[in-house]
Chain A
Amino acid sequence: MSIENKRLKLRRDRWLPKSPRDLVIRLKTERRGIGRLKTVAILLVALLQLALLILLHTLVVAAFRGYLIFSVVMDVLTCLYVLASDKNSRSKAVWIMLILVLFPVGFLVFFLSDERVFFRSSRRRYAEIMQSSSGMLTGCSCADMPETTARACTYIENVTGYVPYKNTSAQYFPSGASAFDDMLVRCAAAEKFIFMEYFIVAGGALFDRLFAVLKERAAAGVDVRVIYDDMGSSGKLSGRLRREVRAAGIRLYAFNKLVPMYKIAMNYRDHRKITVIDGRIAYTGGINVSDEYVNERRLYGYWKDNAVRVEGDAAQGFTLMFLRQWEFVTKKPFDYSPFMYAGGGKFPGPVSSGDECGADGGTFLPYASGLEFAAPVARDVYAGAISQAAERLWIMTPYFVPDDTITNLLASKALSGVDVRIVLPGVPDKAYVYLVSLDNADKLKESGVKVFTMSDAFVHTKSVLTEKCAIIGSANFDLRSFFQQYENALYTDDAGVMRGLERDFMQTFPECVQRNLRPVQKGPLRSLLTAVLQIFSPLM
């Protein structure tokens, strides 16, 4: 065996020290945490600004005694304002506690963080985009669906405007590797456009493969557009790579660029995972464009993820989702109609209705959730599916920090005899969220919910399966996904997708440890830490 390192080649082997590491095997692709440095630095600068503001405010209070009385009044009024707001109950509790703890500047911190004040212009822009693109989708009628699907359709259509489709075939992928392999082949055959919207786009082997295809397609005249979230991709997509992508003719935009300022909008991230090819094929699921999602980089053991491909009319919903977000990030209105595929081979034009809606097969309902809608769509669709489950309710999620609505529904379903199972990671990516997730899941065990953790694996799949429907998408079972992030998913009652997801669950259960079968011992320190972390769970 040779020594490849030229600088070290001259050193005698017998003089070399032994490795201080414990590990017998070390994958050279392992990476931990360094990419988050930029995000942490920006967060620290923002907190510093907040601290400065608090200090100045305190100085004013010290200088003018009357101002203290004003602060008391403002804090009380703010608490009343929070109580009367439409925030979820956990957020209300946390905010009231913070306002009281941070007295006399609590009210100031709250108003600086109020999205109704500091996110107003973005909301207005979203409202304009939604209005101008509201007539683009004409899918099937909800009335012709099975009852459970009809309820979900009606809710989603009324709240978001997204509509159900038939005339669609689908393929379920139980891993990121299989999904991206399929996606690459389909992208390579794209003729008109490729749209990608991902929370994380990171340099690496997967990126190189994908970029080679996109570059070639862009050179062939295909319209290639990519949106990535600036926080999710922070430190992972270098400036050099971004320049290379743009130089190749691919239009690349960051969603909500990170700036070193205390700004509530920084908290709202684009967590969606969408690929649309020619308006006919779309992918969604838990996957992002990064090597760990295809297990070519090891971060937290085996990376368990999933995705679904729809081919047919249902891709329309995802196309519109992307185009709306594209208009938001580029701030330039444009005509969507050239990208809207029509069923039966017509292109462009409105999507089909009528004959295709009577076709056999399942219903496909792509939907988006986020701050462009008044209601927490991701939470409500999950809640609807849970409430309709009568036999089984299987959930796979990386984080389990739901609100009271979901928690109570799950408990009551388990108590009423439904087979409720939750699969969580066996290896955490964020220790603090994991602690809270396990605590929340363990509390449900008393109601009969079966809690599983997948050994040596980080479960990143976000899916729900009942006997009536499947939901596959980007939304976690946590308050961030429910209330603060832009998410998307596919609701379907298609037998093929449901079978695929069921098989995935059935193959995952034997790889898990069932927490119900062994006592969970919690020391006083862990209990205290969990209690403190629970307070901040709305931020997780």
Chain B
Amino acid sequence: MEYAFGDDKLAVAVKENGSELIGRAYGAFGWRTERVYRDGRYSDVVHFDFARPHSVPCKDRLQLLQVRFEVGVNYLGKAVRRVPLRAALTGALVALIGVALVVYGAFVVALSTTAVFLSAGAGLIGLGVLFGALAAFTAVKVHEADKRKYGMIAAVLRQNLEQIISEAAQITEAGNEH
């Protein structure tokens, strides 16, 4: 019995904003697109069905590059979401202290019997408002810092991704020539 390998199959779900890059990259990894269709459940998800001859030259290297590409692209996606998320979380934490101070101040004002407590309550409310402003300021600063940090990482990553695609394309082209 002679053994003949069938094509390898790969099914991938992709965020729509990355679909162009992914189509190009998987092409470089030697995959040909068999079918593209929308998810039906989520508006921003597109499905790709790929196929590739089972025996391709330097397959192990191509597979490693493909994993590196997938890890890199997914990290980029996470980083994009992480920037506003971290800022919002930090801001919310500081704002929470502000809210607690306002509530405590209002409580003191409501139950105060003397001017001292009344002014202390008002002071607490004022401090709470100040914390609210501080929360907004912190969120903006964290957002700026993260944007810078992840922007730099993203730039390096994008460069790496292009290098990966280029190396994969060279391998695939060399294989096709053979």
- At the interface with chain B, which of A109-117, A173-181, A351-359? A173-181
Residues of chain A lying within 8 A (CB to CB) of residue B64: 302, 456-457, 511
- A497 to chain B minimum Cβ distance, whole angstroms, is 18
In the complex, what distance in Å separates the CA atom of A220 from the CA atom of B1? 10
B112 at the interface (CB under 8 A from A): no
- At the interface with chain A, which of B9-17, B127-135, B142-150? B9-17
Q: A209 contacts B5, CB within 8 Å? A: yes
Q: How many residues of B contact A (CB 8 A)?
A: 44
Digit string of A1-31 for contact with B (CB within 8 Å is 1, else 0)? 1111101110101101111001111111100
Residues of chain B lying within 8 A (CB to CB) of residue A185: 3
* A-B CB pair tally, cutoff 8 Å: 125
B178 at the interface (CB under 8 A from A): no
In the complex, what distance in Å separates the CA atom of A18 from the CA atom of B43? 5
Residues of chain A lying within 8 A (CB to CB) of residue B81: 22
Residues of chain A lying within 8 A (CB to CB) of residue B14: 24-26
- A197 to chain B minimum Cβ distance, whole angstroms, is 22
B108 at the interface (CB under 8 A from A): no
Q: A24 contacts B3, CB within 8 Å? A: no
Interface centre among B13, B14, B36, B64 (most CB of A within 10 A): B64
A205 at the interface (CB under 8 A from B): yes
In the complex, what distance in Å separates the CA atom of A25 from the CA atom of B22? 8
In the complex, which of the residues B18, B37, B43, B44 contacts A25, with contact meaning CB atoms closer than 8 Å? B18
Q: How many residues of A contact B (CB 8 A)?
A: 48
Taking A301-B71, A456-B67 as contacts, is the C-beta distance between A4 and B12 under 8 angstroms? no
- At the interface with chain A, which of B52-60, B96-104, B113-121? B52-60
- At the interface with chain A, which of B72-80, B87-95, B165-173? B72-80
- A423 to chain B minimum Cβ distance, whole angstroms, is 14
Residues of chain B lying within 8 A (CB to CB) of residue A26: 12-14
Q: B77 contacts A23, CB within 8 Å? A: yes
Taking A24-B74, A178-B60 as contacts, is the C-beta distance between A19 and B11 under 8 angstroms? no
In the complex, what distance in Å separates the CA atom of A189 from the CA atom of B3? 8
Residues of chain A lying within 8 A (CB to CB) of residue B41: 5, 8, 16
Taking A17-B43, A22-B77 as contacts, is the C-beta distance between A217 and B1 under 8 angstroms? yes
Residues of chain A lying within 8 A (CB to CB) of residue B42: 16-19
Closest to B11 in A: A28
- In the A-B complex, list the 6 residue pairs whose CB atoms are closest, starting with the nearest: A8-B40, A16-B43, A24-B77, A5-B40, A188-B3, A19-B42
